[in-house]
Amino acid sequence: MELLVGRIGRAHGLRGEVAVQVRTDAPEERFVPGASFATDKGELRIDAVRWSSGRLLAYFHGVHDRTGAERLRGTDLVAEVPDDERPEDPDEFYDHQLVGLAAVTVAGENVGEVTEVVHLPMQDLLAVRTPDAGEVLVPFVAAIVPEVDLEHRRVLIDPPPGLLGDVEDDDVPGDELDGVPDVPDVPDVPDVPGGGPEGSR
C-alpha cells in the first residue's frame, strides 16, 4: 500500500538540504538514510537526515545545491507500507482511510463524500464533494470533526455557521430594512399668492 509520508518544503542552505513537512506518526522510522520514496519526479533516496528546531531536514541523493533543492519543493513523498498498517495514535488516520467516507452533520444531514485530505502547514482539511457536485473544505480538527467512524464509513461534522455555505437570514442583503415602517408620502403644498422668498415683496 502506498502512503503519503511527507512533502518537501523549501531549500535550507546552499548544499541541497531541504526541509520536509512530515505526514506520518513515525518520522524516525520513515526518514532514515537509505530510505526511498516514490514521487512524481521519480524515486528519491535519503542520503542524510537531521532535526533542527523541530524541523526535519534531509539531503536526497543527487541533489547537491540550492537550485536542485528548490526544484524539489512541493514534491510529495510516498512510501510503500503493509496493507494492514495503522497509526499508533487512535486519533490519527491515514489519508486512504478517510477518502470515500460519508460526511454527515451531527444533526443527521448528508454533506457529501470525502474525496481528498488536503495537507496545509497549519492544519489538514477534508475536501468533501457535495451532492450538487460542489466542494467544501472542512478543517480536520476535533471541534469540527468530533468523530471518525471507520466501521460505518462516515465522519461526523459539527459545522460552525457558514462552513457549509449556509446563509443566515440576517446576512441576506436588504433584510436590514425589515420591520421599519414605510414613510408616508408628503402631500403637495399648494402655491400661495405672492408667496416669494421670505422678505421679498
Domains of the chain: 2-80 (2.40.30.60), 95-157 (2.30.30.240)
Beta bridge partners of 8: 20
CA atoms within 13 A on the CB side of 156: 12
- The CA radius of gyration of the chain, in Å to the nearest whole number, is 30
What are 11's three cell numbers? Answer: 531549500
Instruction: Give the cell for residue 122.
Output: 497549519
pTM of the model: 0.57
Amino acid symbol at 128: V
C-alpha cell at 183: 414613510
Cell of 133: 457536485
Q: Which pLDDT belongs to residue 172?
A: 40
**Residue numbers of the chain with a pLDDT score lower than 70:** 25, 83-85, 121, 166-201
Which pLDDT score, from 0 to 100, does residue 129 have?
A: 95
Q: Give the CA-trace dihedral at 156, 7, 90, 116, to 10 degrees.
A: 20
Query: Residue 197: its pLDDT value, please?
Result: 40
139 and 128 Cβ atoms separated by less than 8 Å: no
**Which secondary structure element, helix H or strand E, spans residue 76, and what is its range?**
strand 76-80
